[in-house]
Structure 1
Amino acid sequence: MPGPGEAATVDRPVVDGDRAVTAAKPGRSRLSGRLAEARTSAAGARLPALTVELAALAALLLAAVGDSRLWALAPAVVAVGLLARTWRAGPVVAGSSVVARVLLLACAYLLGAVRGLDPTLAVGVAVASLAVLIEPLVAAMYEAVYPVAANLPGLGSQPERSPNPGRVALVNGAAVLVALVCAFTDLSGGIALAVAAVALGFTGFTALQGLRAFRARRGQERKLLAALTAYEPAFVVHWNAPAGTAYQLAMWLPYLERLGRKFFVLVRNQTNFDEVVALTKVPVVMRMGLNQLDDVIAPSLRAAFYVNTATVNNHVIRYTNLKHIQLNHGDSDKVPSHNPVFRIYDKNFVAGQAAIDRFAANGVSMPAEMFTIVGRPQVENVEIATGPIASIANPRVLYAPTWAGFYADSNYSSLLAGYDIVKALVARGCSVVFRPHPYSKRSVELTRECERIRTLLADDRRTNGRPHVFGAEAEVAMTVADCFNASDAMVSDVSSVVADYLYSEKPFVMVAVSTPAAQFAEAFPLARAAYVIDAHGGRVQGLDAALDDLLGSDPLAATRRDLKKYYLGDIPADRYAQRFLDEAGRYL
């Protein structure tokens, strides 16, 4: 089912059809490198930060040369306001806006000197400045505190990062603000000193907590290889992908667990680590840098499995003592499904002969022994159609559009025509299950179209009582198989969803977006089993004819049954998932 998202720090994405796969950059082991990454992520656009610094500098200069405190008031207020607005826009990160805050503290000191310096204000400014200047060290320390492993016997619990170092910036920011207020007013400098002392104390406490967590992380790393060796895993699953793309791994975990052999999941960033820990009780290990991977290659390992084509997969493929097996996470006729990058794996487990022929048809030469047909075990619980759709009075239709892709040549999404399609289905008395690709949220335009469709379905459900399914019910509560089983037919795009739906033998429509309908089946052979709506060029054509066939005589029923074997393997239904288990077990 539609699905992917963005990992912590990523390179240019490898677009994998419905599956957007990005490669995380290797983590830096030194604190200075970690701090550089923290500052980059915290600063966002450089222009706003530079504006805050210039406003703070202006306040400092006017405080130094002006004959009235009021001259420095306006730029100081602007600097503080811009700083607060920047922090409101996203998480507050310790170590950000250090220059601006030090300049504002210098401004407070000069203003105090102009009117007859209050010694307590001067000390308060000095203490607050020290707290602010320590922040980058605190930030570096916490950036170097990250989980090593979870659920791994003999390693203990993962290091804690509490308290949140972002609070340090907030507390120190309050100290800066109080110092400025005392400098511009007649408030006692003792107030500024008291607040600054609290800020410095909290900063120091947070630094000590970070140091303790950092040492705990280093301790776990020293024990990692020994713990994995004692655990004796037979294989590793390497996964790196954008945030929100955990479905790639989730679809395979139940079948990997059914192999009955010990294994662990290796991830390359904390976002993926947190996602996988929420999915499974098997050990999860995080290693960011290429130079950290030797610590996870336990002597008992025999194979490595991959569920996408992330660039950093090659960091593990370099271990030639392992058998490297690509599982992928769906099969479709999209361009990424015949990417030459599949050559780097020892074995490519594919759903059916169609996947093998796709490479040859597109000029990608690969030896036959690199492929093994294992079907799509994830469809083993998909229900087969029990009768013709024409016999169903009020059919339920699944609309599962894909997203727009990273680039124009991979845009297969029908969402811009989706409202018209769903409206036509509703007009025919159908109820609709609406499950858009999660990456649709990345586009303002596609998000708007999703909301239009949800509103249409909500209004019709309220008015006519049709049992439409949409929103969290369809996108969170229901699994892929649930959506398939809850429908009698489907409308989708060029997507791996279509090949999986083929297992049900139920009728489906494909929407031609990137290619005119006349050339659609040639470009995407699975469309031979589909009724086609032409949305190429932004105009929807053939909608009524396609829906007539979909919901009526269904002349392509026999074609679907034939292509089912071609795309999903000629495997007995009662042992469908067992084919994968048998083939994978051969390498363990």
Structure 2
Amino acid sequence: MNAKSGLRGWLAGRMPALAAEVAALAALLLAAVADSPWWALPPALVALGLLGYLWRNALSGGPTPSGSTLVIRLLLLACAYLLGVVHSGADLVLALGVGVAALAILAEPAVTATSRSVYPVSANLRGSGLRPNLRPNTSRAVLVNGAAVVVALVCAFAGTLEVISLVVSVAALALIAFTGWQAVTRVRARHASETRLNAALAAYEPVFLLHWEAPAGTAYQVGMWLPYLERLGKKFFVLVRSEANFNEVLRMTTAPVVLRSGLTQIDDVIVPSLRAAFYVNTATKNNHLVRYTNLTHIQLNHGDSDKVPSHNPVFRMYDKNFVAGQAAVDRFAANGVSMPAEMFSIVGRPQVENVAIAAAPIASLTAPRVLYAPTWAGFYADSNYSSLLVGYDIVKALVSRGCSIVFRPHPYTMRSAALTQESERIKALLAEDRRTSGRKHVFGAEAETKMSVVDCFNASDAMVSDVSSVVADYLYSEKPFAMVAVSTPAERFTDAFPLARAAYVIDAHSGRVTNLDPVLDDLLGSDPLAATRHDLKKYYLGDIPSEGYAQHFIDEANRYL
């Protein structure tokens, strides 16, 4: 069944290209045997239309799938040649133009393959590369080759202006040749940078490095820690494992950024001055670096929560685990993961140092602003805690009570079509209510990118969220919050997720909300859990004075540097 599904998926993905190839072949055959050239026009137009569909991303600035369209374009060039020879008595000029265009197209695979070997090695690093080595724009050359095909067809159908086809084809060949020269030159530059990398790092004398490997679009993981690592006052660099990660980090720091994707390439960055390596997630490629026993390996993670990944046994492979509070230490033992006490350092969550503490009881506010911050679906079923599928009902109930909303879904929400759809429904609801009531809801780019998480915290009087690190961070504010029980019934929720002791629990484990009104009464009214939140704040975020809260992390980190 899986094989059949895979075949169907492959066919579905290839169908536009196959249809274009068939149409181009039909145009070629009709050009050869039909008594009029115009018989070849409909299938040629179909092939060109499908070619445009296949290139829709490239036409808007994305990459061009050159390999999947090479046959289509060669068939259309052959069609243009036959139209000229059979029906127009074309001279050598059209044939030469078609031949030059074909050479340009046939050169694409070699140029594209060489271009893929161009990738950055380092940036902001004197002696190896202050600027990244950029891949040449092969999409532009492929599009110009496509234009040469279109011009050849137009000239062939018109039976004239063959010299224009030749000029465009020569330009296409020149561009693909120039792109190939750029690729070869930059591959050589990459090799030179790699040769100089170790010496350049040794001369820089970094004391520590930050290792990061993650899917594209997750730069928040490293972004939350970079400001505090910079405050350590020591030289460091960021080691990333993919080009996407390289580009993301480069926009976030002036520190050297180094890309080493393979296991054997890690040797290039190990220099005598290094004392420690920091990590912000449990990516598989972390084990490429932890094998260097001369370094102290410190796991920072990217938030504290009761999620399954927060007590993963893989944390044992680090020398130290910096955690926010005693709750993180106890979480491992409570879930059967044995960890020696000396592996932990309680450092708080420096990211909450600017979170404002509640100024007044929420019951005193006539129109409270509520932050709705649902998490995403997770990589695995046992880590799917998102409430977005019932989020519309929650937000609608809050709006009906006169609340204004700050809506900030997890950055990974767009990975799920269902969650994306629900997110858009909520935004539409808020937009309509803002139009009719004048309430100043905050959502979309303003809440998700212009405002930081801390900005959203400080702009709110209460929060509704899921099992997420956002909840532990919000605890610092001592403001009331609710958590949505998605994977577990409300009556067992606090057993599975102890932080919920400080939360008003919305029961949605059956796929619909069942106790929303009484929960919102407590959340927005009497707030009986205020004292509990105050007590649990130290347990989850460390018994650390608010004055100089982040300095505690800085002092502890510097012990290993």
TM-score normalised by L of structure 2: 0.92
Which structure 2 residues correspond to residues 48-447 of structure 1 after superposition, within 5 A?
48-66=16-34, 68-90=36-58, 91-93=62-64, 95-96=66-67, 97-115=69-87, 116=89, 118-158=91-131, 161=134, 164-447=137-420
Q: CA deviation at 1:499?
A: 0.7
Judged with a 3 Å threshold, the aligned counterparts in structure 2 of structure 1 residues 236 and 458 are, in CA distance, closer, same or farther, namely same
Q: Which runs of 5+ in 1 are unaligned?
A: 1-42
Q: Quote the sequence identity (%).
A: 72
Q: Distance in 1 between matches of 2:266 and 2:273?
A: 15
Q: CA deviation at 1:71?
A: 4.7
* Aligned match of 2:4: none
Asked if the contact 1:148–1:158 (Cα under 8 Å) also holds between the matched residues in 2, the reply is no
The superposition leaves residues 315-347 of structure 1 with CA deviations (integer Å, 9 ceiling, x where unpaired) of 212222211111000011111111122122121
Asked if the contact 1:359–1:366 (Cα under 8 Å) also holds between the matched residues in 2, the reply is yes
Q: CA deviation at 1:68?
A: 4.7
SS at match of 2:232: coil
Q: Distance in 2 between matches of 1:162 and 1:287?
A: 16
Computed over aligned residues only, the root mean square deviation of the Cα atoms, in angstroms, reads: 2.2
Q: Distance in 1 between matches of 2:12 and 2:550?
A: 47
Judged with a 3 Å threshold, the aligned counterparts in structure 2 of structure 1 residues 50 and 345 are, in CA distance, closer, same or farther, namely farther
Q: Distance in 2 between matches of 1:162 and 1:348?
A: 38
Counterpart residue type for residue 448 of structure 2: E
Judged with a 3 Å threshold, the aligned counterparts in structure 2 of structure 1 residues 92 and 381 are, in CA distance, closer, same or farther, namely closer
Q: Distance in 1 between matches of 2:152 and 2:405?
A: 61
* Aligned match of 2:431: 458
Q: CA deviation at 1:503?
A: 1.2
Counterpart residue type for residue 398 of structure 2: L
Counterpart residue type for residue 140 of structure 1: A
Q: CA deviation at 1:414?
A: 1.4
Q: Distance in 1 between matches of 2:34 and 2:291?
A: 65
Q: CA deviation at 1:48?
A: 2.7
Q: Distance in 2 between matches of 1:436 and 1:82?
A: 37
Judged with a 3 Å threshold, the aligned counterparts in structure 2 of structure 1 residues 84 and 459 are, in CA distance, closer, same or farther, namely closer
Q: CA deviation at 1:545?
A: 0.6
TM-score normalised by L of structure 1: 0.88
Q: CA deviation at 1:443?
A: 3.0
User: Which segment drifts farther, 45-54 or 544-553?
Assistant: 45-54
Counterpart residue type for residue 424 of structure 2: E
Q: CA deviation at 1:70?
A: 4.3
Judged with a 3 Å threshold, the aligned counterparts in structure 2 of structure 1 residues 185 and 576 are, in CA distance, closer, same or farther, namely same
Q: CA deviation at 1:455?
A: 3.1
Q: Distance in 1 between matches of 2:29 and 2:368?
A: 74
Counterpart residue type for residue 45 of structure 1: G
Q: CA deviation at 1:64?
A: 4.3
Q: CA deviation at 1:538?
A: 1.8
Q: CA deviation at 1:150?
A: 1.4
Q: Distance in 1 between matches of 2:247 and 2:357?
A: 36
Asked if the contact 1:287–1:293 (Cα under 8 Å) also holds between the matched residues in 2, the reply is yes
Q: Distance in 1 between matches of 2:29 and 2:260?
A: 48
Counterpart residue type for residue 107 of structure 1: C
Q: CA deviation at 1:159?
A: 5.2
Asked if the contact 2:241–2:259 (Cα under 8 Å) also holds between the matched residues in 1, the reply is yes
The superposition leaves residues 189-218 of structure 1 with CA deviations (integer Å, 9 ceiling, x where unpaired) of 333222211211122122222323222222
SS at match of 1:432: strand
Q: Distance in 1 between matches of 2:263 and 2:393?
A: 49
Q: CA deviation at 1:163?
A: 5.7
Greater RCO structure (CA 8 Å; 6+ sep): 1
Counterpart residue type for residue 337 of structure 1: S
Q: CA deviation at 1:173?
A: 0.8
Counterpart residue type for residue 173 of structure 1: G
The superposition leaves residues 278-331 of structure 1 with CA deviations (integer Å, 9 ceiling, x where unpaired) of 111111111222232221112211111110111111121222221111100001
Counterpart residue type for residue 113 of structure 1: V
The number of residue pairs the alignment matches comes to: 546
User: Which segment drifts farther, 330-339 or 388-397?
Assistant: 388-397
The superposition leaves residues 212-243 of structure 1 with CA deviations (integer Å, 9 ceiling, x where unpaired) of 32222222222111111100001110111122
Asked if the contact 1:351–1:568 (Cα under 8 Å) also holds between the matched residues in 2, the reply is yes
Q: Distance in 2 between matches of 1:44 and 1:245?
A: 30
User: Which segment drifts farther, 518-527 or 60-69?
Assistant: 60-69
SS at match of 2:483: strand
SS at match of 2:107: helix
The superposition leaves residues 354-389 of structure 1 with CA deviations (integer Å, 9 ceiling, x where unpaired) of 112222222222222222211111111212223322
The superposition leaves residues 48-100 of structure 1 with CA deviations (integer Å, 9 ceiling, x where unpaired) of 33333333334334444555544544333322221111101443427432222
* Aligned match of 1:467: 440
Counterpart residue type for residue 208 of structure 2: F
* Aligned match of 1:520: 493
* Aligned match of 2:7: none
Judged with a 3 Å threshold, the aligned counterparts in structure 2 of structure 1 residues 347 and 46 are, in CA distance, closer, same or farther, namely farther
Q: Distance in 2 between matches of 1:500 and 1:356?
A: 17
* Aligned match of 1:9: none
User: Which segment drifts farther, 535-544 or 443-452?
Assistant: 443-452
The superposition leaves residues 108-158 of structure 1 with CA deviations (integer Å, 9 ceiling, x where unpaired) of 333333344522222111111111111122212322222221111233443
Counterpart residue type for residue 57 of structure 1: L
Judged with a 3 Å threshold, the aligned counterparts in structure 2 of structure 1 residues 579 and 490 are, in CA distance, closer, same or farther, namely same
Q: Distance in 2 between matches of 1:367 and 1:226?
A: 38
Q: Which runs of 5+ in 2 are unaligned?
A: 1-10
Asked if the contact 2:392–2:422 (Cα under 8 Å) also holds between the matched residues in 1, the reply is yes
Q: Distance in 2 between matches of 1:87 and 1:350?
A: 48
Q: Distance in 2 between matches of 1:52 and 1:587?
A: 61
Asked if the contact 2:276–2:560 (Cα under 8 Å) also holds between the matched residues in 1, the reply is yes
Q: CA deviation at 1:541?
A: 1.3
Alignment match of 2:476 (pick from 499, 503, 507):
503
